[in-house]
Structure 1
Amino acid sequence: MSPVEIGVAVLLGAVALTLLRLPVALALGLAAFAGAASILPLPAALSLTARLPFEFAASWEFAAVPLFLAMGAVITRSGLAEEIMALAEHWLRRAPGGLAVATNLTGAGFGAVSGSSMASTVALGRMAVPQMLRSGYDPGLATATVASAGTLAALIPPSIPLIVYGILSETSVAKLFFAGIVPGLLTAFAYAAMIMIRCHLNPSLAPPPPRDQPRPPLSWRVLALPLLALVILLGIYRGLFSPNEAGAVGMLCALVLALPQKGFGWRGLVDALAEATRQTAAIITVAMAAFLLTRTMALTGMPDALAVLVDSWSVSPLTLILGSTLLFVVMGMVLDPFGVMLLSVAVLLPTFEQQGFDLIWLGIIIVKLIEIGLLTPPVGLNVFAAKSVAPPGIALTTIFRGVSWFLLAEVGVMAVLILFPGVVLWLPQTLSN
């Protein structure tokens, strides 16, 4: 077999092993090792397999991942997000679907201190789903709102997928963070508009609250999440610290805010750190295997051959990105979305580079497609996360039906981001100037 044919076989093997429900890290790692052993002498392939995952795990850029995950876990367990959600609910109580809209906007705020979509979904679900169901909300709307709002953490900085993409594509994590802000807010407002339109047309989905509902008492905790997000983003923008150091600063600020809270204490801190450790281990295992696969694919020359092939077809950039989008959606229906992103960086990045795509814009598009993959059946990890905190009587099919409306909103957002790249690139370009 030629090296390019080996590359194709490695890619198909990785997909096949994942479809057989092998853990994503093991599927990618086995396929990568088999490809390396087919091209290099066995001792060299073994050396490559031992060295590259260590290089990735030891990279300075990845240090931000456990810090941001720990910051999000501390904020979640301290209850600091609950008061801002109560205030949002009060402000929006007269809007159609006010509780659902408030949950969605709180998800955007929570995404600014949590880089994990699933963690954000679980935290929002514990706070919002019981309250929406007590208020008579449709179970599909309540659970789908939580599942969809949780995906906003994938875009709004600090975002774990953006950090990993930045490492693999060798692009600026800081620019990726700022590029994710406008698309993340646009997605949140598209969700909110869809909820309000649906509930206006069908009031039975979300009964209005009692008119004499008292306003929740205000305290400094309402400002905790906005201030924490502001410290991180302003610090990066002003050059006071790098994205990695921002993780440490954010974690320190989260501890200062959380430790005085009743019910948190040292036990809460230990639980938060244990949760962040589990999440970090899961992410870094998959990312190390993907990094090895990326290097193996480079050895085969398959990504470069694909880039030359696409160039010979003379397809337009719009056709290429639309075709890739369709491929991402199909793969996201059967594969782990994080694995889909890592596979795409390994195989498709040279093609996009040769076609002149901006890698910052491309990173946001890829992460947006990850968001969609988190909601599409049959994998839909965020749907399963919402199911885990929903009452037992709510079926997965109910949540997936509710999520279909949010996917419709995502189509509109994706159209804007693809047709108008300036929506993504305006903020990082403005700040860099």
Structure 2
Amino acid sequence: MQGQASTAQQPQGAARAHGRLDPRLVLIMALASGLVVANSYYAQPLVDTIAGDLHASTTAVGLVVTASQVGYALGLALLVPLGDLVDRRRMLTALLLGTFVCLLAMVFAPGWQLLAAAAVLVGLGSVVGQVLVPLAAELAREDERGRVIGNVMTGLLLGILLSRVASGLIASVAGWRAVFVVAAALMLVTCVLVRMLPSSPSTARDADGASLTYGRLLRSVITIVAEEPVLRLRIGYGMATYASFGVFWTSIGFVLAGPDYGWSDARIGLFTLFGVAGAVAARFAGRLADRGFAHIQTGVFLALTAASFVLLGVGRTHVVLLAVGVALLDLGIQGTHISNQSVFYPLRPDARSRLNTAYMTTYFTAGSVGSVASALIYPAFGWGGVCVVGGIFPLAGFVLWCREHAVLRRARRRSDAHPR
């Protein structure tokens, strides 16, 4: 038994440099997360161009963006829990090869229907980052966990951000299909990267110490949600902000390509660089969470997300206000997200993949709901309607946070009045 324990601990020990997680492994996880998550966002600034090329309506192509988010949510629910059951490195390789094949299918799709079907499968296989983040949390020491998660998430967020820039630039030179050719090639590169990561033994066990079956593994996710009120609160905050993300990014391409701006794909892609504030927030929020500020900063970030839609609404005709609104939106969403992760990962050290599944499945489901709402609201009510709906979601999250804050304050007062 001692020999087996030593073998199981070896990969984690080998991943450490001077007592802390090796920065090279953090870089690999951040880079791999960014390259893969980008697959779900390449189409966002290209909706107008794709609609014209495939002779489809803007609503139909907007649903292609939604299809990728739906696939991502399915992957979170059905695939990410396996990170507690199988070797994550082997699992990542299989996901990347499957995503490579599906991206090639997007390249040759003759119509929006097949494009959407392939987008669902690409989203399904693009949950690599959500397998890597729990791995990073597992490998990191407790006093560096927030920083490590923040760094990996910075890579993931830069992947989201730069994917839109890259897709706009590539499409302007070689057409929108070339974007997915490049994406497919990058999946092969990412396969090489993940082979450099340490293997990870199974942590999913039942009460008798035996490995869980796949069915019991999935059912245990529901059990964990029922037993962890802190996780449920953090799920609520995450859903509130990411729904607004889906609302905004599904329709902004139509606004920027429309009569008010008339921008090209390349210019729309470059505009998304204003969202770099989200990547900055990931590092900042992770470090603050390590110092005990996760609760307070959550309220601040939720309020910023809601306030951003005021500027975004006015930005329909004022590009500077639109840019500031985008920066605040991504700052608020990603700051809330990192704060959430720093709070719920320590709840169940043996079930971090399943904690992530519970949180991220609802997170991306909310994003899909926001995306569908945006695709339906924009044709009927325009950009103003989109911004109203987008602001309602984080406002509801802020109200929920205020209730939690009041409960915590009352508990603190009772504790001060009756010290043990």
Structure number with the bigger relative contact order (C-alpha 8 A, sep ≥ 6) is: 1
Q: TM-score, normalised by structure 2?
A: 0.31
Question: In proportion to residue count, which structure has more helix?
Answer: 2
Q: TM-score, normalised by structure 1?
A: 0.30
